[in-house]
């Protein structure tokens, strides 16, 4: 990279690449992240900002001082950004054909091993003559994919050897030569190459608010009046409201306003943003939309108090006082998911649900998770809900899946413990069996705050929960008409049980052509058998007691129980079950 080329207008990742290159210890760079977006640069003729694809930014700007540039991908094969590079390469191919008896001058190969053999000869010839060179290999994951060694074909092995050899070749390191491998997900590449000390990973991040605002103003240009006529928000507000989107997606929104003359309201912008992010995440992220608030949650007073305090801190822009994450535990049907959905209605930041990102194909699971984590980092501030966390997040000690669970676990815990994510990416891990979760996920610095939820233990709690369930199911009875069995505590009913009872009572009433009467409800309650197993419920309850990090969240009699007594009972239940 020529030192006389101004770099002030370069993005941070390009300056990082330049600094590492100038050490003369690394010539192979792995570009990953938002590599399919446009990059801001400067028009060489006018000095005005402009935006170009990554490939053009590399060839026309970052490597503009190079004498020769070669580009390659499996689909297009070898291609060149300018005619001089093309002509020079054709001359070298002519000599290669005469020496090795090939016929590449008539038709260039596309297979990686043949291409790399041709390129190695070309690199050595031109570098020995003092030429400055760059080589850009796009869709690198199709050439050296992530896979177990036993799954590699002979072609894959040869391609990997070429790239590893070039990364440490003294001739390439001593001359003005740069090799860039471009891929969206770093985990899609062979990990021997990624982890090699002779390569450097350079992440191209999803644009931040400032970058999106600059692009919006550039794209709108002198059409400010036309934009203002159809959009409710100014460009800066548009940029603030589109976190997680790249510039290409932002352009789609702006073009719809300026070219199609469609109105852009805050509601439509929110819908578009959700659609873009969910599509970018391949459907593995789902926005949590809710019309509820914590006022709609019955019982759980201490947990609601804590979450309301957290909501106030977030609205006051105090991420520094927030825990890195929450572990929400309790027996099935106690309202864990509903509580966090209601919290999403109060915090003023988006909440997404992490869906199943695992795949049966080698390396795809890790790539899916990398994309999700990159999106979450770009969407900050954001809350993330992970249901059944004990099964979803894997385990450092898992066996039998070629190490996938171990790698997934490592990615998750590394992301969760990053200090810059405190209060910016807020995890809610929900499980009925916190005892099955690895300690690494539950320790301080990750899921720091453990909130335990329980079935209602007082008549007041049961009445409050029952009234909410009657409202939700449309049962119009007063609390005095409710059977005592639901309120005395002689039998334990979860919120899910109460909702099921009200639904069954409504079904009986509809069958008889009437509203739910006290008699119908009484009959339904007497007939109802909860589809649960008492020992498993007790185990889940006591596991939540052991996991809880606040005495105030524990109802009696659990608050006064000796911990050793709880541990002993939990172990006994595990053996029985």
State the pLDDT at residue 4: 46
CA–CA gap between residue 323 and residue 462 (Å, rounded): 31
519-541: average pLDDT? 86
Residue 323 within any structural domain of the chain: yes
Q: What percent of the chain has pLDDT over 70?
A: 95
Report d(CA 547, CA 328) in Å as an integer. 10
299 in the same domain as 221: no
Distance CA(162)–CA(172), nearest Å, equals: 13
- State the Rg of the chain over Cα: 30
Determine whether 511 is exposed, middle or buried from the number of CB atoms within 10 Å of its CB (0-12, 13-18, 19+). exposed
First-to-last CA distance in the chain? Answer: 66
State the residue for tokens 């290159």. Answer: 21
230-239 pLDDT, tens digit each: 999 999 999 9
142, pLDDT greater than 60: yes
Q: Is the pTM of this model over 0.75?
A: yes
Predicted local distance difference test score (pLDDT) of residue 1: 44
Q: Do residues 79 and 219 both lie within one domain? A: no
Domain boundary among 280, 315, 333: 280
pLDDT in tens, 214-224: 999 999 999 99
What's the confidence (pLDDT) of residue 427?
92
Q: For the chain, how are helix, strand and coil distributed in percent, rounded to 5?
A: 50, 15, 35
Take residue 97 and report the two structure tokens written for it: 């054909």
Stronger pLDDT, 529 or 524, i.e. the higher one: 524
| Cβ atoms of 67 and 132 closer than 8 Å | yes
pLDDT tens profile 298-355: 888 888 888 999 988 888 888 889 988 999 999 988 889 889 988 988 887 888 998 8
Q: Check whether residue 342 and residue 489 sit in a common domain.
A: no
- Judge if 197 and 322 occupy the same domain: no
Range 354-376 average pLDDT: 78
Looking at the chain, the whole-number percentage of residues with pLDDT higher than 90 is 50
Q: What is the pLDDT of residue 403?
A: 63
Number of structural domains in the chain: 4
Indicate the SS3 state at residue 243: coil
Q: Which residues of 153-190 are buried (b: 16+ CB within 10 A; e: fewer)?
A: eeebebbbebbbebbebeebbebbbbbbbbbbbbbbbb
Q: 47, 8 in Cβ contact below 8 A?
A: no
Least confident of 246-255, 352-361, 496-505: 352-361
Quote the pLDDT of residue 143.
94
- Which has the higher per-residue pLDDT, 399 or 194? 194
Q: Which residues contact 84 (CB under 8 A, 6 or more apart)?
A: 68
**What is the 3-state secondary structure of 12-28?**
HHHHHHHHHHCCCCCCE
pLDDT in tens, 444-493: 888 889 999 988 888 888 888 888 889 889 999 898 889 888 888 778 88
Domain membership flag for residue 118: yes
C-alpha 564: how far from chain center? 39
In a domain, 570, yes or no: no
- 301 is in which domain, residue-wise? 294-452
106 and 237 co-located in one domain: no
CATH code, domain with 476 = 1.10.8.60
Q: Which of 307, 372, 309 is nearest to 336 (CA)?
A: 307
Confidence of residue 254 (pLDDT cuts 50, 70, 90): very high
């Amino acid at each position: 990279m020529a030192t006389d080329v101004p770099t002030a207008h370069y993005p941070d990742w390009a300056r990082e690449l330049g600094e590492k290159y100038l050490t003369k210890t690394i010539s192979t760079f792995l570009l990953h992240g938002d590599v399919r977006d446009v990059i801001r640069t400067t028009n060489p003729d006018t000095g005005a900002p402009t935006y170009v694809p990554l490939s053009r930014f590399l060839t026309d700007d970052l490597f503009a001082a190079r004498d020769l540039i070669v580009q390659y991908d499996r689909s297009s094969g070898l291609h060149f950004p300018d005619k001089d590079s093309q002509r020079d390469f054709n001359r070298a191919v002519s000599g290669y054909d005469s020496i090795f008896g090939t016929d590449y001058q008539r038709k260039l190969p596309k297979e990686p091993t043949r291409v790399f053999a041709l390129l190695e000869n070309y690199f050595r010839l031109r570098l020995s003559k003092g030429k400055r060179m760059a080589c850009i290999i796009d869709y690198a994951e199709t050439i050296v994919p992530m896979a177990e060694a036993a799954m590699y074909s002979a072609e894959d092995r040869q391609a990997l050897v070429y790239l590893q050899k070039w990364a440490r070749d003294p001739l390439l390191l001593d001359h003005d030569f740069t090799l860039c491998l471009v891929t969206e997900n770093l985990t899609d590449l062979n990990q021997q190459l990624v982890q090699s000390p002779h390569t450097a990973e350079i992440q191209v991040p999803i644009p931040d608010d400032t970058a999106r605002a600059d692009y919006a103003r550039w794209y709108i240009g002198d059409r400010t009046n036309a934009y203002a006529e159809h959009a409710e928000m100014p460009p800066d507000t548009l940029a603030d409201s589109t976190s997680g989107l790249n510039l290409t997606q932002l352009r789609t929104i702006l073009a719809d306003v300026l070219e199609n003359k469609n109105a852009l309201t805050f509601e439509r912008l929110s819908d578009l943003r959700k659609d873009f992010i969910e599509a970018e995440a391949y459907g593995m992220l789902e926005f949590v939309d809710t019309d509820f608030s914590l006022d709609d949650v019955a019982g759980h007073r201490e947990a609601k108090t804590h979450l309301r305090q957290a909501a106030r801190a977030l609205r006051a822009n105090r991420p520094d006082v927030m825990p890195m994450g929450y572990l929400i535990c309790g027996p099935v049907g106690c309202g864990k998911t509903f509580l966090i959905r209601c919290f999403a209605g109060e915090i003023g930041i988006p909440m997404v649900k992490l869906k199943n990102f695992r795949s049966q194909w080698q390396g795809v699971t890790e790539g899916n998770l990398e994309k999700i984590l990159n999106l979450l980092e770009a969407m900050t501030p954001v809350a993330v809900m992970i249901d059944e966390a004990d099964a979803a997040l894997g385990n450092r000690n898992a066996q039998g899946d070629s190490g996938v669970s171990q790698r997934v676990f490592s990615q998750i815990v590394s992301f969760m413990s990053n200090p810059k994510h405190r209060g910016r990416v807020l995890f809610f891990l929900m499980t009925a069996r916190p005892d099955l979760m690895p300690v690494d996920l539950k320790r301080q610095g990750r899921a720091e705050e453990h909130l335990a939820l329980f079935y209602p233990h007082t008549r007041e709690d049961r009445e409050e929960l029952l009234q909410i369930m009657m409202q939700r199911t449309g049962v119009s009875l007063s609390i005095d008409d409710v059977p005592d069995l639901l309120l005395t505590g002689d039998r334990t009913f979860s919120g899910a049980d109460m909702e099921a009872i009200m639904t069954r009572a409504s079904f009986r009433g509809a069958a008889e052509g009437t509203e739910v009467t006290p008699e119908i409800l009484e009959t339904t309650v007497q007939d109802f058998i909860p589809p649960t197993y008492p020992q498993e419920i007790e185990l889940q309850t006591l596991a939540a007691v052991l996991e809880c990090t606040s005495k105030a969240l524990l109802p009696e009699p659990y608050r006064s129980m000796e911990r050793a007594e709880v541990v002993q009972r939990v172990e006994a239940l595990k053996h029985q079950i």
